[in-house]
């Protein structure tokens, strides 16, 4: 009876351990989480992340709001986040699976029946119980290197997530700028159409009075048709820009989204800081650095795999024809084995893996250099582009003002019969081109300023490098 109690206790412990393991499993998640369903805590985390804090520097509440919604609801971002969490869980499993002992318990039962040539059959029952523990001693640091490589890969995935967040914030902000540009270009196209229609009406009256020629009338009609075609193209461009922003934000892309605000007035360009500081802020550079570290750990793992391995294995168990017999701890058989193995021949697999790991680390180092140079290039490019775009905006402002005055003068002279229709059309065309150039230059400069913040890794505030950061020695 006493043995049976111990058996019941053992089975209960096995059941309890299994239920505890099941309770630790994460719940089955939704396939997609919308921006309005992430919860207040999650929304606050995204709002204060480095990917979002720089948004307020541009002084546009609407742009900041839409970008933060994109951070919460972007499907692309949720893909990267899920992959990071998977990498982090695998890294945790790598530490436990490689560096800690393994322990397992089990119980088996079998029943056989043999015929005897009569109606009776010989029945045999056989049951076993076992407890097995094993542990590989990490003599040369191979298992530690494997766990550290997995952890570094998870850290790289974390930086990939930060880079994706920064990218989504930048994409949504630039998409908002493109939407405003498309709205302004559509308004300009509508104004151009109205202007051409007024010219056509005036030319029609002059033609009816015998003052204008048929050539002038047909030319005016052609200008109106071209303006209508331009308006249709601008309307389509507006729908494309609206759908693009909705797609980034995770909304249904019906093209109904419109921007209510105006392009922000840009302050002087913030200081970029030292080039070495940039390498500490750019998520893609940090991700390359973690992958470089992981490649170094894999070199050590591959080289240590050619050295002897020491494994400890302990087991205890019993067998019998009933439950009481396999629960008898007095007669339980136990053993402890220490094994030392050394790989001798495996077709060159280990030496090939060692050489491959060296090549992988060389590639990771080159990737780190390439990413760093690309980061510096992006910052330098946005700084120089800001200067040229500022000049373009100033000159297009002058051109637009002069073109408006020239158009007004051409309209008055054409009404008096001093100027020809072709001079009036030329004035219209020059004004539209100047206005379009001004709209494009302004939006391009704001987009470039957004790209500047993204190129700096989201850490540049209006005063340059974050004051809380310690200077690089």
pLDDT score at 212: 84
Tally the domains of the chain. 1
Residue 359 clears pLDDT 90, i.e. is over it: yes
d(CA 138, CA 146): 11
Q: What pLDDT, on the 0 to 100 scale, is given for residue 337?
A: 87
Question: What is the rounded average pLDDT for all residues in the chain?
Answer: 83
Burial status of residue 456 (CB atoms within 10 A of its CB: 0-12, 13-18, 19 or more) = buried
Q: Of the given ranges (61-75, 151-165, 387-401, 458-472), which has the lowest mean pLDDT? A: 458-472
Domain that holds residue 196: 42-100+141-307+351-455
**Which pLDDT value is given to residue 9?**
46
Percent of the chain with pLDDT over 70: 83
Residue 41 binned pLDDT confidence (cut-offs 50, 70, 90): low
Per-residue pLDDT tens over the stretch 199-209:
899 889 888 98
Average pLDDT for residues 234-258, to the nearest whole number?
Answer: 94
pLDDT at 51: 61
Average confidence (pLDDT) over 117-126: 74
Q: Stretch 239-246: mean pLDDT, rounded? A: 95
Q: Nearest-5° angle of CA 290, CA 294, CA 299?
A: 150
**Separation in Å, CA 170 to CA 77, 393, 428:** 13, 22, 36
Comparing 213 with 324, which gets the higher pLDDT?
213
Residue 109 in domain? no
Q: Is residue 335 part of a domain?
A: no
CA gap 224, 434 in Å, rounded? 19
- Going by pLDDT thresholds of 50, 70 and 90, the confidence category of residue 42 is low
> Which residue did the predictor score with more confidence, 248 or 10?
248
Q: Is residue 131 part of a domain?
A: no
Reply yes or no on whether the pLDDT at 465 is more than 70.
no
pLDDT confidence tier of residue 285, bands split at 50, 70 and 90: very high
Give residue 109's pLDDT: 74
> pLDDT category, 163, cuts 50, 70, 90?
very high
Confidence of residue 294 (pLDDT cuts 50, 70, 90): very high
What pLDDT score does 330 carry?
Answer: 61
Does residue 461 lie in a domain region?
no
Question: For residue 103, what pLDDT band results from cuts at 50, 70 and 90?
Answer: confident
Mean pLDDT, rounded, for 271-294: 88
Tell whether 346 is covered by a domain. Answer: no
Judge whether residue 158 has pLDDT over 50.
yes
Q: What is the CATH classification number for the domain harbouring 153? A: 1.20.1600.10
Quick one: pLDDT at residue 361?
A: 95
Task: Return the sign of the alpha-carbon dihedral for residues 26, 28, 32, 35.
Answer: negative
Helices (H), 305-420: 323-326, 349-416
Q: CB neighbours (10 Å) of residue 217?
A: 17
Q: Is residue 121 part of a domain?
A: no
How confident is the model at residue 323, as a pLDDT?
A: 60
Other CB atoms within 10 A of residue 152 CB: 21
Q: Is residue 22 scored above 50 in pLDDT? A: no
The closest alpha carbon to 291, from 192, 398, 154, belongs to 154
Question: Which of 265, 222, 205, 290 lies closest to 393, judged by CA?
Answer: 265
In a domain, 287, yes or no: yes
Measured distance CA(316)–CA(329) in Å, rounded: 10
CB 285 within 8 Å of CB 87 = no
* Assigned domain for 315 exists: no
DSSP notation for 422-445:
HHHHHHHHHHHHHHHHHHHHHHHH
The residue among 253, 245, 225 whose CA lies nearest residue 181 is 245
DSSP reduced 3-state for 236:
helix
């Amino acid at each position: 009876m006493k043995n049976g109690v111990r058996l019941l206790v053992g089975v209960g412990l096995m059941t309890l351990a299994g239920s505890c393991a099941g309770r630790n499993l994460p719940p089955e998640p939704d396939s997609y989480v919308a921006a309005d369903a992430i919860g207040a805590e999650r929304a606050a985390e995204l709002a204060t992340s480095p990917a979002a804090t720089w948004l307020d520097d541009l002084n546009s509440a609407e742009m900041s709001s839409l970008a933060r919604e994109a951070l919460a609801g972007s499907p692309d971002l949720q893909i990267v986040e899920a992959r990071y969490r998977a990498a982090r869980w695998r890294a945790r499993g790598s530490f436990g699976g490689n560096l800690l002992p393994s322990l397992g318990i089990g119980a088996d039962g079998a029943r056989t029946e043999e015929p005897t040539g009569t109606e009776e059959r010989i029945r045999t029952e056989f049951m076993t119980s076992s407890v097995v523990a094993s542990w590989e001693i990490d003599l040369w640091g191979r298992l530690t290197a494997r766990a550290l490589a997995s952890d570094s890969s998870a850290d790289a995935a974390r930086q990939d997530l930060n880079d994706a967040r920064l990218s989504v914030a930048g994409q949504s902000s630039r998409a908002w700028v493109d939407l405003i540009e498309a709205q302004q270009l559509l308004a300009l196209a509508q104004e151009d159409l109205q202007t051409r229609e007024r010219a056509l009406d005036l030319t029609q009256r002059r033609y009816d009075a015998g003052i204008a020629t048929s050539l002038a009338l047909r030319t005016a009609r052609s200008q109106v048709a071209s303006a209508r075609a331009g308006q249709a193209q601008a309307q389509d461009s507006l729908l494309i820009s609206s759908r693009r922003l909705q797609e980034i934000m995770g909304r249904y892309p019906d093209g109904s989204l419109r921007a209510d605000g105006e392009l922000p007035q840009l302050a002087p360009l913030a200081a970029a800081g030292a080039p070495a500081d940039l390498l500490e802020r750019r998520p893609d550079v940090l991700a390359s650095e973690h992958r470089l570290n992981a490649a170094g750990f894999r070199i050590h793992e591959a080289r240590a795999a050619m050295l002897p391995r020491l494994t400890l294995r302990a087991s205890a168990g019993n067998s019998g024809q009933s439950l009481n017999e396999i629960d008898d701890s007095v007669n339980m058989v136990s053993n402890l084995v220490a094994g030392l193995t050394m790989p001798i021949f495996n077709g060159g697999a280990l030496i090939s893996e060692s050489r491959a790991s060296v090549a992988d680390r060389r590639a990771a180092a080159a990737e780190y250099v390439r990413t760093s140079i690309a980061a510096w290039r992006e910052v330098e490019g946005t700084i120089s582009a800001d200067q040229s775009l500022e000049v373009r905006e100033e000159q297009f402002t002058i051109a637009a003002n002069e073109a408006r005055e020239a158009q007004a003068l051409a309209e008055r002279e054409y009404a008096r019969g001093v100027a020809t229709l072709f001079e009036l059309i030329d004035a219209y065309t020059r004004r539209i081109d100047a206005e379009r150039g001004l709209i494009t230059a302004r939006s391009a400069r704001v987009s470039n300023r957004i790209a500047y913040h993204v190129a700096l890794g989201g850490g540049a505030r209006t005063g340059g490098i974050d004051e809380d950061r310690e200077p690089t020695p």
